[in-house]
């Protein structure tokens, strides 16, 4: 993250450029309402994040004259955690004993994805913070989706494709393989990409300039912070409410129009469409295009697999020496594979038609189901924008 520029007077942090007692040299500690650490601050002076004190931004408007001038300085995630851990550090105690402190050997502070359970929702990070997916409650739905894709496809390529390659055309298995690859790729992109999560207030406090970046992307200024409790205060204007902005009590942020709080992931998502347990992720501004491509690819894959199995089964029924055994085998195949494939095709076809209708009307799934539309606009052909999580920042 880049060092933040000077904040507006009513949004600035009170910070002290004192060296951290237990951390590396040159790392500043954080002043909470004029106190060096949480132990000397009055009760309620800092908001808690996972049991650790978090430095808050204090509004300059306190009713005294023209306000209190606040100083702005570069505060990194490392410095914030250093200030949080200074109160719990005792003489002779190793910094590595606290999960937020740097390792004694490397001196590195934790990344955002490592402390996400304290400052984020229920999403899980994979590949050391490079991928993000949904909560564990969607595991079996996701397994079901993969089974419907991999199972019939495996039967097609192992049993049917040799005959189709020799007797029909080699292009049929090749095209089916390409469609299968595209389906898997778009499923992984939908499942493992940030749908457009709006960082919580507690996370915005820990990363320099994140509040301004969120304000720039959402078009909503950062909320003011109460001087006594260090809690953000909702100050929505009538114009913002007419535009569809809402205050989220869980994330302590102002949601822009078309955004919503996902109860499954426990995060606010930009241009929230819906939470899909089968892809184990929310579908929002940054992965809606991947989700739409996944639906189209899955529909094409289903038709290709059904067509190939039907051609192979027709050949098997005509050339089976023992007709009784052949018909039993064919009926078993039709029941074991035909029913799941029929359900898959009907479901995907219905979803594809529904989302095509939504794209043409400029609506999201949530807007179509609830009937609450603040502003209309494109949902598919829009810029994804950059991720606001910065999972690998320190």
Cα separation, 391 vs 194, whole angstroms: 10
Query: Strands 281-283 and 274-276, how do they pair?
Result: antiparallel
Helix (H) or strand (E) holding 143: helix 139-155
User: Given CA atoms 289, 294, 295, 299 in this order, what sign does their dihedral have?
Assistant: positive
Query: What residue ranges in 249-385 does DSSP mark as E strands?
Result: 253-255, 260-262, 267-269, 274-276, 281-283
Q: Which residues face 48 on adjacent strands?
A: 53
Query: Is 42 in contact with 99 (CB distance < 8 Å)?
Result: no
Task: Give the Å distances, CA to CA, from 53 to 81, 209, 213, 236, 330.
Answer: 9, 20, 23, 27, 67
Query: Is 83 in contact with 20 (CB distance < 8 Å)?
Result: yes
Query: Is 123 in contact with 265 (CB distance < 8 Å)?
Result: yes
Query: Is 223 in contact with 235 (CB distance < 8 Å)?
Result: yes
Query: Is 163 in contact with 316 (CB distance < 8 Å)?
Result: no
Question: CA-based angle 212:216:220, to the nearest 5?
Answer: 90
Could you give the 3-state DSSP secondary structure of residue 19?
Answer: strand
Cα separation, 210 vs 75, whole angstroms: 11
Q: Which residues are catalytic?
A: 276
Nearest to 281 by CA among 118, 70, 139, 98: 139
């Amino acid at each position: 993250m880049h060092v933040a520029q000077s904040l507006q007077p009513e949004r600035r942090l009170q910070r002290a450029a004192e060296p951290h007692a237990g951390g590396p040299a040159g790392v500043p500690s954080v002043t909470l309402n004029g106190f060096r650490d949480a132990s000397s601050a009055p009760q309620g002076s800092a908001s808690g994040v996972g049991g650790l004190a978090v430095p808050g931004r204090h509004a300059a408007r306190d009713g005294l004259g023209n306000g209190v001038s606040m100083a702005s300085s570069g505060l990194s995630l490392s410095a914030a955690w250093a200030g949080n851990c200074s109160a719990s550090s005792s003489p002779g105690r190793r910094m590595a004993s606290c999960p937020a402190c740097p390792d004694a050997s490397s001196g590195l502070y934790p990344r955002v994805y490592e402390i996400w359970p304290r400052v984020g929702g229920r999403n899980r990070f994979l590949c050391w913070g490079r991928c993000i997916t949904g909560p564990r409650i969607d595991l079996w739905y996701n397994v079901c989706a993969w089974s419907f894709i991999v199972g019939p496809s495996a039967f097609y390529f192992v049993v049917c494709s040799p005959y189709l390659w020799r007797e029909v055309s080699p292009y049929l298995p090749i095209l089916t393989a390409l469609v299968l690859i595209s389906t898997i790729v778009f499923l992984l992109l939908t499942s493992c990409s940030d749908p457009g999560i709006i960082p919580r207030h507690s996370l915005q406090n820990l990363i320099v300039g994140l509040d301004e970046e969120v304000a720039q992307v959402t078009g909503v200024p950062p909320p003011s912070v109460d001087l006594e409790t260090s809690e953000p205060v909702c100050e929505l204007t009538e114009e913002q409410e007419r535009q569809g902005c809402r205050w989220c009590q869980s994330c302590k942020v102002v949601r822009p129009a078309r955004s919503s709080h996902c109860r499954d992931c426990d995060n606010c998502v930009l241009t929230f469409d819906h939470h899909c347990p089968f892809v184990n992720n929310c579908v929002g501004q940054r992965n809606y295009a991947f989700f739409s491509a996944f639906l189209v690819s899955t529909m094409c894959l289903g038709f290709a697999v059904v067509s190939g199995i039907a051609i192979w089964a027709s050949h098997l029924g005509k050339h089976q020496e023992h007709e009784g055994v052949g018909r039993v085998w064919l009926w078993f195949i039709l029941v074991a594979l035909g029913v799941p494939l029929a359900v898959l095709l009907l479901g995907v076809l219905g979803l594809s038609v529904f989302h095509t209708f939504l794209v043409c009307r400029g609506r999201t799934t949530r807007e179509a189901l609830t009937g609450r539309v603040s502003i209309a606009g494109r949902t598919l052909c829009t810029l994804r924008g950059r991720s606001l999580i910065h999972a690998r920042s320190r």
